[in-house]
């Protein structure tokens, strides 16, 4: 759609100059209210349509909505809120709206007296500097701005959903669950060329155009003739969509007035609130949805409330920047993606802990929006992030690339999403630009089941003050306890051990997870020590976890002189105190590395 020049606007008018007795809302807000105008911002309009269906959300965006309703003495001032870069921002506007021949130019409601969506669009345009700045955009960005949620993009063409029934079933289940949790969803069909943009397909859908998803349901078809059509299923998986244009609907199965609806009971149609108006809202089967749409955006609303019946998450937020500075200084934090091995580790680094045996973790990296400077040619950076498994007691910056756990996509977009299942342990996440020496501000959000004890790693090595009586470390050592084998039985009935290992070095102790019910535990736990007494051995003790008192299994010592090559050794187990020389059953397998360069790892 071509954006009308401001000279084409006959005037800016207030709602009371357009209609008699204007209202902010007419019978509340609904997806059917929102109709796109002469601005190519279907991405924002589709998000608004989704927002309108969830009162808890639009009450936050339009606060004190009852007090803002039009009345005889209304001042013509409105207050809206948008979530931007980690905080809710207040935007105050007047109610002068662009018109042509007395009609609104941009977003408007199907009910002529209702103005909430037109005013919301104006506030969003003010946030970005102009209406023109809203021309063309990202579904996910609008969803996040309206909710503070975390938005994910799914490419339906590469997920195997069209061919794999089980994958389709799981996707539908996830969408239905998240919709019940008030997640917002939008979808689109990616055009293959610029000429295809806004081209209508033979089933009535528009390419390059954003649709809001307003319902995800199973529809009961009971004992109707639809069994023959839908392979005997008693329920059909379906979605309801909203075209922001308020017209041009799907014309396939279950479209408005299609014969399939006559086979669905009147009571079921009533539950759905089914209407056959040319209002841009329509139903389609989930199979058809997956077949015809290519892109799906889901904005997850993360529950961080302590007192809640649904799952709660702990949120960790870092607000920071990629900066260029003197090499080796903490101002030099723009190293690029993992492809750039010489500079990659210069990026900001954040450590965090997974305390459960495993945890479902959500990550979002967001850079500052450049939409308000689009006319200057400024665009988003290509961004992403990398996650490494590190030593359990890592306190200082990583200087050698560790085991890679996950790497996000690298995309020129405002925000990157990733959801990963991580095992117990300590990790380091590094948000990066794609190329080195690119600068910009960002916010890194992380959601875990429990407090992740997250910290930014700023120091390269231990810092010893000149006035301190503490000796300066002369050696850095990493020791990985791979596991043990043939441990002695622990219970009176000859049961297997619930074994763990303590790694002790110069008053510091690191503990492995517990491996239950085995004589051959596999821990694969690494600790790092900055040692002032390199002549002292590192002590390892194996214990059996018990409810009342843990039982000692065996003890080993390992010397770790300078050896920058990782060496693996098997260590026999011995007793404690008076039994130090008594060899016990079982052996430990460990890997050791030591270097006098404290920034070698």
Nearest 5°: phi and psi at 545? -75, 125
pLDDT of 488 higher than 70: yes
- What would the pLDDT profile of 408-444 be if each residue is shown by its tens digit? 999 999 999 999 999 999 999 999 999 999 999 999 9
Active site residues: 42, 209, 243
Q: Which of these, 388, 381, 380, lies nearest to 338 by C-alpha position? A: 388
Structure token digits, residue 79: 């207050």
pLDDT of 227 higher than 50: no
Q: Which residue has the tokens 């009852």?
A: 66
- What would the pLDDT profile of 388-415 be if each residue is shown by its tens digit? 999 999 999 999 999 999 999 999 999 9
Cβ-count burial 393-419 (b if 16+ within 10 Å, e if not): bbebbbeeebeebbbbebeebbbbbbe
DSSP per-residue letters across 453-500: --EEE--SS----TT--SPPP-EEEEEEEEEEESPPP-STT-PPP-EE
Res 66: pLDDT? 86
Res 278: pLDDT? 64
Averaged pLDDT, 510-528: 95
Counting other chains too, the contacts that 79-84 makes at CB distance below 8 Å and 24 or more residues apart are 80/119, 80/120, 80/123, 80/124, 82/123, 82/124, 82/127, 82/145, 82/146, 83/144, 83/145, 83/146, 83/147, 83/148, 84/127, 84/145, 84/369
Torsion angle (degrees, nearest 10) of CA 576, 579, 584, 590: 40
Do 488 and 544 form a contact (C-beta atoms < 8 A)? no
DSSP per-residue letters across 22-77: -BS-SSS--GGGEE--SSS-HHHHHHHHHHHT-HHHHHHHSTTTTTTS--TT--SE
Res 2: pLDDT? 41
Q: What is the CA radius of gyration of the chain?
A: 30
Please give the distance of CA 95 from its chain centroid, rounded to a whole number: 35
Most confident range (mean pLDDT) of 73-77, 158-162, 208-212, 437-441 is 437-441
Instruction: Decide which of 242 and 32 is more confident.
Output: 242
Do 407 and 381 form a contact (C-beta atoms < 8 A)? no
Q: Which of these, 236, 143, 145, lies nearest to 188 by C-alpha position? A: 143
Res 9: pLDDT? 52
Averaged pLDDT, 243-253: 80
How many C-beta neighbours within 10 Å does residue 118 have?
22
pLDDT tier at 340, thresholds 50, 70, 90: very high
**What share of the chain has pLDDT > 90, as a percent?**
57
Give the Cα separation of 217 and 172 in Å (integer): 9
Res 39: pLDDT? 86
Count the residues in the chain.
Answer: 601
List of domains in the chain? 6-137 (no CATH), 151-300 (3.90.70.10), 314-457 (2.60.120.380), 475-595 (2.60.40.150)
pLDDT of 310 higher than 50: yes
Q: At what angle do helices 42-52 and 116-128 cross, to 10 degrees?
A: 130
Residue 254 CB-half CA count within 13 A: 24
Res 220: pLDDT? 81
Least reliable range by pLDDT among 92-106, 284-298, 321-335, 364-378: 364-378
Least reliable range by pLDDT among 172-176, 267-271, 482-486: 267-271
Averaged pLDDT, 144-155: 91
Q: Which of these, 177, 213, 33, 2, lies nearest to 110 by C-alpha position? A: 33
Please give the distance of CA 555 from its chain centroid, rounded to a whole number: 44
How would you class 168 by CB atoms within 10 Å of its CB: exposed for 0-12, middle for 13-18, buried for 19 or more?
Answer: buried
- DSSP structural state of residue 117: H
pLDDT of 577 higher than 70: yes
Res 276: pLDDT? 65
How many C-beta neighbours within 10 Å does residue 330 have?
15
Give the Cα separation of 397 and 419 in Å (integer): 24
- What would the pLDDT profile of 525-541 be if each residue is shown by its tens digit? 999 999 999 999 999 99
Most confident range (mean pLDDT) of 239-243, 254-258, 382-386 is 382-386
Vertex 81 angle, CA 78 and 85, to 5°: 150
Q: What is the mean pLDDT of the chain?
A: 88
Instruction: List, in order, residues 6 or more apart from 289 with CB less than 8 Å away.
Output: 187, 239, 241
Least reliable range by pLDDT among 76-80, 219-223, 316-320, 353-357: 219-223
Q: Residue 9 in 3-state DSSP?
A: coil
Res 5: pLDDT? 54
pLDDT of 223 higher than 60: no
How many C-beta neighbours within 10 Å does residue 94 have?
13
Give the Cα separation of 34 and 291 in Å (integer): 26
Q: What pairing do the DSSP bridges indicate for beta strands 281-285 and 103-104?
A: unpaired
CA dist list (Å): 348 to 323, 384, 438: 9, 12, 13
CA dist list (Å): 84 to 39, 140, 178: 22, 13, 23
Do 520 and 531 form a contact (C-beta atoms < 8 A)? no
Averaged pLDDT, 166-192: 90
pLDDT of 465 higher than 80: no
């Amino acid at each position: 759609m071509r954006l009308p020049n401001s000279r084409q606007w006959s005037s800016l008018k207030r709602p009371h100059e357009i209609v008699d007795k204007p209202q902010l809302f007419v019978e509340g807000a609904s997806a059917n209210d929102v109709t796109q105008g002469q601005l190519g911002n279907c991405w924002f309009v589709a998000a608004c349509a989704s927002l309108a269906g969830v009162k808890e959300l639009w009450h936050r965006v339009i606060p004190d909505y009852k007090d803002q309703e039009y009345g005889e003495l209304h001042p013509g001032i409105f207050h809206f809120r948008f979530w931007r870069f980690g905080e809710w921002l207040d935007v105050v506007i007047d109610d002068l709206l662009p018109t042509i021949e007395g009609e609104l130019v941009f977003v408007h409601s199907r009910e002529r007296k209702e103005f909430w969506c037109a005013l919301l669009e104006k506030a969003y345009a003010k946030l970005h500097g102009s209406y023109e700045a809203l021309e063309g955009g990202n579904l996910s960005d609008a969803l996040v701005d309206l909710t503070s949620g975390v938005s994910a993009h799914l490419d339906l063409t590469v997920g195997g959903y069209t061919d794999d029934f089980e994958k389709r079933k799981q996707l539908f289940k996830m969408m239905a669950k998240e919709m019940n949790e008030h997640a917002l969803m939008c979808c689109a069909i990616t055009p293959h060329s610029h000429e295809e943009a806004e081209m209508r397909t033979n089933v009535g859908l528009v390419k390059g155009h954003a649709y809001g998803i307003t319902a995800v349901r199973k529809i009961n078809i009971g004992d109707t003739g639809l069994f023959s059509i839908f392979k005997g299923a008693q329920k059909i998986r379906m979605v309801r969509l909203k075209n922001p244009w308020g017209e041009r609907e799907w014309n396939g199965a279950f479209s408005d007035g299609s014969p399939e609806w006559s086979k669905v009971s009147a009571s079921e149609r009533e539950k759905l609130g089914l209407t056959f108006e040319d209002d841009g809202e329509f139903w389609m089967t989930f199979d058809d949805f997956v077949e015809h749409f290519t892109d799906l955006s889901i904005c997850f609303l993360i529950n961080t409330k302590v007192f809640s019946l649904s799952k709660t998450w702990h949120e960790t937020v870092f607000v920071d920047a990629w900066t260029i500075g003197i090499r080796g200084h903490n101002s030099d934090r723009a190293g690029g993606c993992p492809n750039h091995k010489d500079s990659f580790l210069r990026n900001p680094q954040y450590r965090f802990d997974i305390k459960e045996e495993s945890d479902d973790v959500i990550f979002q990296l967001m850079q500052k929006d450049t939409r308000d400077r689009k006319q200057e040619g400024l665009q988003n950076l290509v961004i992403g992030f990398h996650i490494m498994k590190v030593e359990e007691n890592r306190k200082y910056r990583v200087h050698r690339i560790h085991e890679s756990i996950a790497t996000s996509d690298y995309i020129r977009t405002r925000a990157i999403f990733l959801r990963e299942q991580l095992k117990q342990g300590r990790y380091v996440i590094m948000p990066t630009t794609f190329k080195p020496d690119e600068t910009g501000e960002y916010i890194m959000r992380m959601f875990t089941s429990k407090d992740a004890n997250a910290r930014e790693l700023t120091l390269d090595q231990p810092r010893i003050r000149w006035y301190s009586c503490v000796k300066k470390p002369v050696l850095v050592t990493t020791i990985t306890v791979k596991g043990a084998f043939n441990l002695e039985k622990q219970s009176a009935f000859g049961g297997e051990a619930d074994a763990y290992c303590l790694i002790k070095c110069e008053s510091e102790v690191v503990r492995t997870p517990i491996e239950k019910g085995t004589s051959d535990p596999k821990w694969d736990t690494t600790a790092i020590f900055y040692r002032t007494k390199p002549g002292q051995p590192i002590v390892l003790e194996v214990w059996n976890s018990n409810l009342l008192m843990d039982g000692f299994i065996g003890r080993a010592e390992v010397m770790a002189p300078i050896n920058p090559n990782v060496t693996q050794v098997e260590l026999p187990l011995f007793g404690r105190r008076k039994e130090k020389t008594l060899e016990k059953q079982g052996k430990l397998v460990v890997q050791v590395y030591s270097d006098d360069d404290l920034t070698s790892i």
